Amino acid sequence: MSVVGTQFQKSMIDDARLRERLDLDPSKKTAFIFPHILWDATFFWGKCLFADYEEWFVETVRTACANDRVKWVIKVHPANQRIREGGSLGCESAEIVALRRFGKLPPHIVMIPPESEISTYSLFRVMDYCITVCGTVGMEAARLGIPVLTGGTGPYDNKGFTVDSNTREEYLEKLRNIEDIRPLSSAQRELAERFAYASFLMCPWHAKSVTLRYLPNTQKFMYQGQVNIKSREAWYTADDLRAFADWITDPNKPGEYWGRSLIATPTQI
């Protein structure tokens, strides 16, 4: 994601080397836990089954500690590194601090720190289960046929291709027996692919009149903004601004630019 640089300077790792680095057991299935930024809030969609992201994370890891029939990998959110570089965080991410209450993690749980050079895209090839509250990674995993266990509601739960729960107890029970959950059927995967296509390709609103990009080669977490409109008249005629105005006026009505990457409904990416 270019705006916060989460996948800058990351590398694709081949399956054999990745399995070795993460000490994956070929006889066990592998479940990846993708925590959100723990002090973040879900402003746009749904709610967490727990009081907040930290409680969800702690209870998820607690349950994982008790299930050694599965190899668990905690992928700390890479945005922590960029936020820390910008001086907004202390020395450690909240996830790592939260894990201290468990002492030394059992050998069937491994953690990937935010500064790891491993690209998240490498992980899908060795992933049997994806665990999140409502992170975008869930859409990416489901379209590849990987079961996604959601810890709350969001933009893509209860659409027919995720493993959802109505209560925290139901969610934790599924984690306790996660190895019994089957891969997605071909019909479920098609649903996930269709949803991902609509979300990633049809729904994003692309700003062209004003652009903002992350600067990856600076020591600090910095953006560069640029106004691309050169005249007063252009503010009233720019396609992207007209599409945004249409969405503000009626967010439920697909705009004139649907299917051309300028649409009426923005997505959380």
Residue 131 located in a structural domain: yes
123: in domain = yes
Are 131 and 246 in the same domain? no
User: Are 209 and 171 contained in the same domain?
Assistant: no
- Indicate if 243 and 221 belong to the same structural domain: yes
Asked, for residue 165, whether it belongs to a domain, the answer is yes
What are the pLDDT digits (tens) for 214-228? 666 555 556 678 899
Residue 115 is assigned to a structural domain of this protein: yes
Q: Give the angle subtended at the CA of 255 by the CAs of 254 and 261, to the nearest 5°.
A: 100
Domain boundary among 184, 202, 220: 202
Q: Is residue 249 part of a domain?
A: yes
Looking at the fold, whether 226 and 192 belong to one and the same domain comes out as no
Q: Is 52's pLDDT higher than 60?
A: yes
Coil vs helix vs strand at 214: strand
**Are 236 and 105 part of one and the same domain?**
no
Q: What is the average per-residue pLDDT within 6-23?
A: 80
User: How many domains in the chain?
Assistant: 2
Tell me the pLDDT band of 152, cut-offs 50, 70 and 90: very high
Segment 246-268 shows an average pLDDT of 52
Same domain, 20 and 129: yes
pTM, 2 dp = 0.78
Has residue 8 been placed in a domain?
no
Q: Does residue 170 share a domain with residue 234?
A: no
pLDDT at 38: 64
Same domain, 198 and 268: no
Among 26-40, 119-133, 206-220, name the most confident range: 119-133
254 vs 171: which has the higher pLDDT: 171
Classify residue 33: in a domain, yes or no.
yes
Give domain status of residue 169, yes or no.
yes
Q: Which of 146, 174, 202 is the last residue of a domain?
A: 202
Domain boundary among 202, 218, 244: 202
Residues 209 and 198 grouped into a single domain: no
Please indicate, yes or no, whether residues 90 and 134 belong to a single structural domain of this protein: yes
Q: pLDDT at position 266, please?
A: 33
**Residue 85 sits in a domain of what CATH number?**
3.40.50.2000
Contact criterion met (CB below 8 Å) for 96 and 65: no
Domain that holds residue 258: 205-269
Give the CA angle between residues 89, 10, 12 to the nearest 5°. 145
123 and 250 in one domain? no
Same domain, 164 and 238: no
Q: What pLDDT does residue 109 have?
A: 96
Give the Cα separation of 103 and 68 in Å (integer).
Answer: 17
DSSP states of 92-161: S-HHHHHHGGG-SPPTTEEEE-TT--B-HHHHGGG-SEEEESS-THHHHHHTTT--EEESB--SSTTSSS
Q: Among 128-132, 163-167, 225-229, which is the least confidently predicted range? A: 225-229
